[in-house]
């Protein structure tokens, strides 16, 4: 089943002068097609300004297409009747944890979503407990969010989405403001939710080491999808990635450079372990 279907999506925004006349039209998304199957872990890569965040915001109807359409579980995000069901199915986690936390204590924050959609009180507490456990934050249930680190806040934000029991979670650069430990915890949590709960994950990032385990990657530039495939396929084209102002994982880059120098290394090396093994086999 298709979790998300994006068809010929175009999105523009306008710059206006003081009299509200349009002085510039910017095409942030310029004709994107994308299918995400239920249960997949996909990643969307692109430099800042490539259109990836605008795309993410279309998936749960925060932005509306200028042309084309976006479907979540077959529901059109332009339909006002469906929008709440869409947002319940597809939750979004944003970059800055401080902009997403509203409760005075952690459990209150996580309960906010289900409370809003009229879940009975008893069920809310079950959901809160389960969600906090799923992100490994149950010990902080009664803490004040101010006292948490960035990574912990981000996991509380994810728990808040989980409490809505979504089938899909979109994460828009969730680790950009975190330290290495916080990053690792968030990425591990997201992978666990995908594997254990079968939640479809759409991860938007420009950090390559976060996506080596994804099922499929989409690379965006100038509002278009310019590359797609498994991480191995995408990362083997080092030059093309650089053209799109992205890096490849270190091991892939070094393997590429060594191949250029004539060392017969296999293509599709992505990790340090693979590179060590390949080099040792040569000598």
Q: Applying CB under 8 A, which residues contact other proteins?
A: 15, 47-49, 95, 149-150, 173, 176-177, 179-182, 206, 245-247, 250-251, 253-254, 257-258, 261, 263, 272, 275-276, 279-280, 282-283
Least separation in angstroms between CB 253 and other proteins: 7
Residue 105 is given by DSSP the state S
Instruction: State both tokens at 119.
Output: 């879940």
Alpha carbon distance 217, 115 (integer Å)? 35
Instruction: State both tokens at 226.
Output: 């310019």
From start to end of the chain, where are the E strands?
2-16, 22-37, 41-45, 67-72, 75-76, 90-93, 168-172, 200-205, 216-221, 224-229
Given the complex with other proteins, which of 83 and 156 has the nearer CB atom? 156
The torsion angles phi and psi of 3, rounded to 5 degrees, stand at -80, -50
Given the complex with other proteins, which of 113 and 174 has the nearer CB atom? 174
Given the complex with other proteins, which of 195 and 277 has the nearer CB atom? 277
Given the complex with other proteins, which of 48 and 79 has the nearer CB atom? 48
Given the complex with other proteins, which of 195 and 245 has the nearer CB atom? 245
The strands making up 2-16's β-sheet, listed across from edge to edge, are 22-37, 2-16, 67-72, 75-76
Least separation in angstroms between CB 171 and other proteins: 15
Least separation in angstroms between CB 140 and other proteins: 16
Alpha-carbon distances, residue 197 vs 130, 190, 219, 237, 247 (angstroms): 12, 10, 26, 33, 31
Alpha carbon distance 24, 8 (integer Å)? 22
What is the sign of the dihedral through the CA atoms of 133, 118, 60 and 35? positive
Least separation in angstroms between CB 272 and other proteins: 6
Given the complex with other proteins, which of 34 and 275 has the nearer CB atom? 275
Dihedral, CA of residue 128, residue 129, residue 130 and residue 133, to nearest 10: 120
Least separation in angstroms between CB 207 and other proteins: 9
Least separation in angstroms between CB 245 and other proteins: 5
């Amino acid at each position: 089943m298709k979790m998300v279907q994006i068809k010929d999506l175009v999105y523009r925004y306008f710059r206006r002068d003081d009299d509200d006349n349009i002085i510039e039209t910017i095409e942030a998304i310029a004709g994107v097609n994308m299918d995400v199957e239920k249960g997949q872990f996909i990643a969307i890569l692109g430099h800042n300004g490539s259109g990836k965040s605008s795309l993410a915001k279309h998936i749960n109807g925060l932005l509306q297409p200028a042309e084309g359409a976006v479907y979540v579980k077959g529901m059109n995000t332009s339909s006002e009747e469906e929008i709440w069901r869409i947002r319940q199915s597809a939750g979004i986690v944003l970059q800055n944890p401080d902009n997403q936390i509203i409760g005075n204590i952690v459990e209150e924050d996580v309960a906010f979503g289900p409370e809003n959609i009229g879940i009975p009180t008893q069920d809310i507490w079950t959901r809160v407990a389960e969600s906090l456990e799923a992100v490994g934050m149950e010990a902080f249930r009664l803490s004040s969010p101010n006292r948490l680190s960035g990574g912990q806040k981000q996991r509380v934000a994810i728990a808040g989405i989980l409490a809505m029991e979504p089938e899909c979670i979109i994460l828009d650069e969730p680790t950009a403001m975190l330290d290495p430990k916080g990053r690792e915890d968030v990425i591990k949590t997201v992978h666990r939710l995908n594997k254990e709960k079968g939640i479809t994950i759409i991860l938007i990032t420009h950090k390559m080491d976060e996506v080596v385990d994804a099922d499929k990657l989409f690379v965006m530039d100038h509002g278009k999808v310019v590359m797609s495939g498994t991480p191995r396929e995408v990362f083997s084209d080092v030059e093309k990635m650089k053209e799109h102002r992205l890096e490849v994982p270190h091991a892939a880059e070094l393997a590429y450079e060594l191949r250029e120098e004539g060392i017969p290394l296999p293509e599709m090396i992505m990790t340090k372990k693979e590179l060590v093994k390949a080099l040792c086999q040569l000598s």
